Chain A
């Protein structure tokens, strides 16, 4: 996918739903009124992780500005490790677009964990290029969407070198009239042998009227690769719900227990203890209001 230049002040540069990559997320509609400079938070940065270095990065957004537009580029050096934990905790009328590109080097590790409660329009894109052999990439995420919130998690992973590993585990909950979008593509170039790529997306739709749009794609041009993707979207297991109720839990308690448990594994996989605690705290706090029917 070619990265189209986007100028938030120029509506003619906005993608439309006719663009395949944007068919589930209508930016033009979200930005019907072109934002004023004062309303926009704009960030563009290039971050270099030197060879052998280990960096743990925490990003959180409480969305003080009405519109957020971020472009980040990460260059992860040889044998370096970057862990990126992102909490998108924005108000319901926020509009945000975040795009990051990541380039790996031989033996490097990139791990990303994104947690979102959505916004009026929220898109989080990550474009990873396995530019070094034997790099390891993990891109996990969880979303809990309610009301009319919209969250779009778009990931592109390009295996350009041999023996690259990619693992993705995305879990989502949607209720009310919320919409979750997951577009994940793994592209394995000719010659990128030994690639091991796995993508999983699982979502629960908690009531009629909420939507999940999922588009998982694998495109493979190398011979000796292992690739798999799994995508499941469904309702909460009614039998499990009944089982909990026969043990004395009322329906809201049982639903809360089961749906909370559904997204927790994504947070529990965070190795950094302090950040894991932060994310768990965020999810616990969200759970208090999210799961109330």
Chain B
């Protein structure tokens, strides 16, 4: 589903990703773990198409199409969703307005009919309820003054509404207490499906207790240095990343 071949990327002329290769088939959840500065967030941003993240080599195909050829919003409409480590505050734009604009923009680009207001509201209500989000919160400007947990729940709400084919979760566990982590993880798990892939980027094994990966990859200094099953996360938790730092250098 998502195929990354020998990807190199630079931010402000500094090379961060140094030949990263990764395959995530549909229906699987892969975790990327690694120390600070390994390039984890850069990978998410590069895949989403953030300006100033220059792809200097390699290729990325998504469902057989060249992903890097597409604009940011085209990647979203093709089904890619990047959940931010720190979701941005959007002053003046009610969450509902934001979400409906996003959803209809995607539908328009895909040549689908726009969602009507009643259909939209019905679905938002259902999803919000499952995530314990109050409808009043959705009338407030998106993420403005929301707690860390509320922002992450808003991210999951957006995923559930936009129904992307592939999710990149960038440090979704940061800023969450144990209860919020459970609500958010349950929300993500509810989205697991045979035709959907996920890439879970995290520092800690903790999140992977809740969102169980099929594969774990260790990212150090811009490269995948080791891949394995879920047990690899436990090994990393016990021994740290030090053993890999020499390998990548």
Residues of A within 8 A of B (CB): 237-240, 242-251, 253-254, 257-258, 260-262, 264-265
Q: How far is the CB of A248 from chain B (nearest CB, A)?
A: 4
Q: How far is the CA of A53 from the CA of B141 in the complex (A)?
A: 36
Residues of B within 8 A of A262 (CB): 91-92
Q: How far is the CA of A254 from the CA of B240 in the complex (A)?
A: 41
Question: Nearest B residue to A264 by beta-carbon distance?
Answer: B92
Stretch at the interface among B3-11, B68-76, B175-183: B68-76
Stretch at the interface among B102-110, B184-192, B199-207, B224-232: B102-110
Question: Nearest A residue to B106 by beta-carbon distance?
Answer: A248
Given A238-B51, A239-B88, A240-B88, check contact A257 B76 (CB 8 Å): no
Q: How far is the CB of B166 from chain A (nearest CB, A)?
A: 13
Given A243-B84, A247-B162, A248-B162, check contact A258 B93 (CB 8 Å): yes
A to B CB contacts below 8 Å, 12 in the list: A237-B88, A242-B50, A245-B71, A248-B103, A248-B105, A253-B105, A254-B73, A257-B101, A258-B92, A261-B91, A262-B91, A262-B92
Q: How far is the CA of A114 from the CA of B87 in the complex (A)?
A: 34
Residues of B within 8 A of A246 (CB): 48, 72-73, 75-76, 81-82, 84
Q: How far is the CB of A194 from chain B (nearest CB, A)?
A: 31
Residues of A within 8 A of B115 (CB): none
Q: Please tell me if the beta carbons of A243 and B101 are within 8 angstroms of each other in the complex.
A: no
Given A242-B51, A253-B101, check contact A247 B158 (CB 8 Å): yes
Size of the chain B interface, CB-CB below 8 angstroms: 32
Given contacts A249-B73, A249-B105, A250-B105, 9 further A-B pairs with CB under 8 A are A243-B84, A245-B71, A245-B72, A245-B76, A248-B76, A258-B90, A260-B92, A261-B93, A261-B141
Q: Please tell me if the beta carbons of A248 and B77 are within 8 angstroms of each other in the complex.
A: yes
Q: How far is the CA of A245 from the CA of B70 in the complex (A)?
A: 12
Question: Nearest B residue to A249 by beta-carbon distance?
Answer: B105
Q: How far is the CA of A247 from the CA of B158 in the complex (A)?
A: 8
Residues of B within 8 A of A242 (CB): 48, 50-51, 72
Within 8 A of A (CB), among B71-128: 71-73, 75-77, 81-82, 84, 87-93, 97-99, 101-103, 105-106, 109
Contacts across chains A and B counted by CB atoms under 8 Å: 76
Residues of B within 8 A of A244 (CB): 90, 98, 102
Residues of B within 8 A of A240 (CB): 88-90
Residues of A within 8 A of B76 (CB): 245-248
Q: Please tell me if the beta carbons of A257 and B162 are within 8 angstroms of each other in the complex.
A: no
Q: How far is the CA of A261 from the CA of B141 in the complex (A)?
A: 9
Q: How far is the CB of B165 from chain A (nearest CB, A)?
A: 13
Q: How far is the CB of B192 from chain A (nearest CB, A)?
A: 21
Given A239-B88, A243-B84, A257-B101, check contact A248 B109 (CB 8 Å): yes
Q: Please tell me if the beta carbons of B77 and A261 are within 8 angstroms of each other in the complex.
A: no
Q: How far is the CB of A235 from chain B (nearest CB, A)?
A: 13
Residue picked from A249, A254, A257, A262, most chain B C-beta under 10 Å: A249
Question: Nearest A residue to B91 by beta-carbon distance?
Answer: A261
Contact with A along B131-162 (1 / 0, CB 8 A): 00000000001000000000000000010001
Q: Please tell me if the beta carbons of B87 and A248 are within 8 angstroms of each other in the complex.
A: no
Cβ 8 A contact of B102, one of A247, A251, A258? A247
Residues of B within 8 A of A261 (CB): 90-93, 141
Q: How far is the CA of A253 from the CA of B101 in the complex (A)?
A: 8
Q: How far is the CA of A244 from the CA of B90 in the complex (A)?
A: 9
Q: How far is the CA of A258 from the CA of B102 in the complex (A)?
A: 13
Q: How far is the CB of A242 from chain B (nearest CB, A)?
A: 6
Residues of B within 8 A of A239 (CB): 88
Q: Please tell me if the beta carbons of A248 and B92 are within 8 angstroms of each other in the complex.
A: no
Q: How far is the CB of B219 from chain A (nearest CB, A)?
A: 21
Q: How far is the CA of A27 from the CA of B91 in the complex (A)?
A: 37
Q: How far is the CA of A290 from the CA of B81 in the complex (A)?
A: 30
Residues of A within 8 A of B50 (CB): 242
Residues of B within 8 A of A250 (CB): 71, 73, 105, 109
Residues of B within 8 A of A260 (CB): 92
Q: How far is the CA of A254 from the CA of B106 in the complex (A)?
A: 12
Q: Please tell me if the beta carbons of A243 and B92 are within 8 angstroms of each other in the complex.
A: no
Residue picked from B75, B84, B102, most chain A C-beta under 10 Å: B102
Residue picked from A239, A245, A247, most chain B C-beta under 10 Å: A247
